[in-house]
Amino acid sequence: MRSLRHRPHSLIGAIVVLTVIAVYALVVPMLTGTNPGLTDFAAAYQPPSGSHWFGTDLAGRDLFVRTAAGLRVSLVIAAVCAVASAVLGVAVGVAAGALGGWVDRIVMRLVDGINALPHLLLGIVVVALYPGNLVAIVASIALTHWTQVARIARAEVRAARSATYLEAARLSGATRTRIAITHLVPAAAGQGIVAVILLLPHAIWHESTLSFLGLGLPPDQASLGTLLQDARAAVLTGAWWTLLFPAAALVVTTLAVGVVGAAVRDRITPPLPERAIR
């Protein structure tokens, strides 16, 4: 697949989509007159219409507003998890890569151990210990995903450590601290940022899964997962809109974030020498 450097259309499209989604998720729930929790049982399971663009759910709540609220909650949780994973992962990864020796070995065995466990099960265990607790949900996602970031950060640092250009820097008089700041941290941070962006879709899915299984947020609180949980039963009664819109929001968001993440990664990776002329 050609790098996105040469195919800006998909990147521009993804950015446009993400902007629309961000506006939708952030602005709609804040508009006066909208309340995702407003129930109206008389209007339950109404198909999409002029007054309810996305239809209504089992409690008569307007799905246009509710999906926006759910999207916002899911995005916020995912962002917090991604940042927490990244901070933890970069810190541990850079330390392991820079220090080497037994520190590196112990850290990598720990990473391998965590990676060996099915992360969803691990996440379920954490939330089961503290049911309904938002911090537990964030922790369950962060604790299972920081290892990917740590691996990438450590690999960058280790590759940089044996590089000739670091030797050249040492010879020009740079102290070890200076080298770490000007060379190692930017290398690790660049890939760390990419890892964060690419973690976001996964975090969104993880939270949605937990909520879908009833282990995340309580059902009356809107999140993409709880909306999908509601849709499970509703679809059987023919209310297709209760499934379509939250699911579409989930898929479109994760795809768009993935495209942007890949573009950021391509931009950050130093390009190969141009072979046009030698």
Per CB under 8 A, residues contacting another protein are 163-165, 167-175, 178, 182-183, 186, 270-278
Q: What backbone phi and psi angles, to 5 degrees, belong to 56?
A: -130, 165
Cβ pair 68, 260 in contact under 8 A: no
Cβ distance to another protein smaller for residue 6 or 9? 6
Between CA 258 and CA 200 the distance in angstroms is 8
Alpha helices in the chain (DSSP H): 8-27, 63-99, 101-116, 119-129, 134-161, 164-171, 176-179, 185-212, 224-236, 241-268
Cβ distance to another protein smaller for residue 109 or 170? 170
Cβ distance to another protein smaller for residue 49 or 175? 175
Cβ distance to another protein smaller for residue 44 or 169? 169
Between CA 137 and CA 115 the distance in angstroms is 19
Between CA 138 and CA 77 the distance in angstroms is 7
Between CA 95 and CA 202 the distance in angstroms is 25
Q: How far is the CB of 157 from another protein (least distance, A)?
A: 15
Q: How far is the CB of 211 from another protein (least distance, A)?
A: 41
Between CA 274 and CA 149 the distance in angstroms is 30
Q: How far is the CB of 96 from another protein (least distance, A)?
A: 22
Cβ distance to another protein smaller for residue 99 or 163? 163
Q: How far is the CB of 186 from another protein (least distance, A)?
A: 8
Q: How far is the CB of 272 from another protein (least distance, A)?
A: 6
Place of tokens 């949900």: 137
Q: How far is the CB of 104 from another protein (least distance, A)?
A: 21
144 Cβ partners below 8 Å, 6+ apart? 114, 117, 119, 122, 123, 206
Q: How far is the CB of 98 from another protein (least distance, A)?
A: 17
Sign of torsion, CA 157 162 163 167? positive
Cβ distance to another protein smaller for residue 9 or 275? 275
Between CA 174 and CA 163 the distance in angstroms is 15
